[in-house]
Amino acid sequence: MTDAARYAGFLPENYRSTHREPESTWWQWRGRRVHIARASRPDAPIRVMGIHGAGGHAMALWPFASLAADEGVDILFPDMPIYGFTAEPRPGQVRYRDWIDLLCDLVDTERARDPRPLILFGASMGGMMAYEVAARTGQIAAVLATCLLDPADPEARAATARWGVAGKAAPTLLPPMARVAGGLRLPIKWLVGMDRMSNNPDLSRMCGSDPRGGGVRVPLGFLADWFTYPHAAPEQFTAAPVTLLHPAADRWTPPQPSLRFLDRIAAPTQSVLLENCGHFPIEEPGLTQLITAARCVIAEVQSRANRGA
Name the residue with higher pLDDT: 223 or 105: 105
Residue 309 has pLDDT above 60, yes or no: no
**In Å, what is the CA distance from 67 to each residue of 60, 62, 206, 292?**
13, 9, 21, 11
Residue 136, number of CB atoms within 10 A of its CB: 17
Q: Give the Cα separation of 288 and 294 in Å (integer).
A: 10
**pLDDT of 11:** 93
pLDDT tens, residue by residue, 52-102 = 998 899 999 999 888 887 778 999 999 999 999 999 999 999 999 999 999
Average pLDDT over residues 95-120: 97
pLDDT tens, residue by residue, 219-247 = 989 988 998 999 999 999 999 999 999 99
Beta strands in 130-239 (DSSP E): 142-145, 185-187, 217-219
**pLDDT of 169:** 58
pTM of the model: 0.95
Residues 34 and 3 sit within 8 Å (Cβ to Cβ): no
Cα angle 303, 62, 214 (rounded to 5 degrees) comes to 130
pLDDT tens, residue by residue, 185-203 = 988 888 777 889 999 999 9
Q: Give the Cα separation of 56 and 63 in Å (integer).
A: 12
Q: Give the Cα separation of 14 and 170 in Å (integer).
A: 42
Neighbouring-strand partners of residue 77: 37
Residue 164 has pLDDT above 60, yes or no: no
**pLDDT of 165:** 43
Report domain extents, the chain: 3-307
At position 259, the amino acid (one-letter code) is: L
Q: Give the Cα separation of 192 and 161 in Å (integer).
A: 4
**pLDDT of 161:** 67
Average pLDDT over residues 132-154: 96
CATH T-level assignment (fold) for domain 3-307: Rossmann fold (3.40.50)
**pLDDT of 168:** 60
Q: Does residue 246 sit in helix, strand or coil?
A: strand
Please give the helix or strand (H or E) that residue 47 lies within, else none.
Answer: strand 47-51
